[in-house]
A and B are shown apart, each in its own frame.
Chain A
């Protein structure tokens, strides 16, 4: 009996070991998958956030943000000063009856006079302001939240945002802003348009992640 009991111990130990191995076989791969998925998700989010930072660098360039103000007027120039000639936003972001955006801005750049132009020149709505009322540029997280809020962004989903960045005439203008009145070229955003669209696509495909506060 003693011998029998002593024989059982190794067998029991073997069974326990096998059971543990079996359990690990059942639980192990799934646990690894979850871990890998978690890592992949984190990597995807990190890539998306990196792409967003590229997008943000363009959105906050003067060629873009000068018309995404929080005030009753647009801005101009790399120093983002108030638009000259007492230009005001107006009820639809297109100025007022005798002083509209179209009073000067035509369908295309006017190289001979230095006035920029593109189809339907206008200010972005106040819901798409990327500055505060003191003209301070909002943080990456704040702009990201506004851009992804369909109550603020004209109900655009990811595909809609990508299309906007790809095709909107005023977005395209920012990458071909032509000459100023002194003949010098306006500075360009930090990315080419192709790079900007590519970064937007990566960000959208990553689920449009936004940075944490602030």
Chain B
């Protein structure tokens, strides 16, 4: 067990865990931040996506020992994020969610895309969102919502 100092959504946090513990489980089990979901555990579905040092990251495969001082941002902070707020509003306006399990990861990836590419093409969206799976198959509505959010952002 080792102690790690993390910055999560701008707040300093400290956890004492095994170095190999995935960031996902630190968030969910140690910090009780359950907005980030466990889907596959092998980075194949995207449900666990957070932003690590500004990069959309699959938290289920990143051991806490490799976070190394980079700030962690989760779905819980998106309402306060300028791009995150716009994306969440677009998600609501397009009534995207069906079961909702994958959606926090979908939103974290969409925000990462729009922060890097304000006016994404269909190809940009398909490539960037290609690692986020949705068993309810809300893909078409997700693409529409990203375009709506894109129009709202300068």
Contacts and interface: CB of A to CB of B under 8 A. Distances in A.
A146 interface: no
Interface string B50-72: 00000111101111001010000
Contacts of A172: none
Interface residues of A, number: 25
A98 B22 contact: no
Chain A interface mostly helix, strand, loop or mixed? loop
Contacts of A114: 42, 61
A126 interface: no
B115 interface: yes
Interface residues of B, number: 34
A119 to B, nearest CB: 12
B60 A113 contact: yes
B112 interface: yes
A112 B19 CA distance: 9
B44 A106 contact: no
Given A88-B127, A99-B130, A104 B56 contact: no
Contacts of A85: 43-44, 46, 130-131
Interface string A127-149: 00000000000000000000000
A194 interface: no
A96 interface: yes
A113 B62 contact: yes
A120 interface: no
Given A96-B127, A107-B66, A110-B66, A102 B55 contact: yes
Given A103-B131, A115-B43, A98 B61 contact: no
B43 A99 contact: no
B117 A104 contact: no
A129 to B, nearest CB: 20
Contacts of A6: none
A103 B66 contact: no
Please give me the 3 A-B residue pairs with the lowest Cβ-Cβ distance, nearest first. Answer: A112-B20, A86-B130, A97-B116
Given A85-B43, A99-B127, A113-B62, 10 more contacts: A88-B127, A96-B113, A96-B127, A98-B49, A102-B55, A104-B61, A107-B66, A112-B20, A112-B22, A113-B22
14 contacts: A86-B127, A86-B130, A87-B131, A96-B127, A98-B116, A99-B130, A100-B56, A102-B55, A103-B58, A110-B61, A110-B63, A112-B18, A113-B60, A113-B63
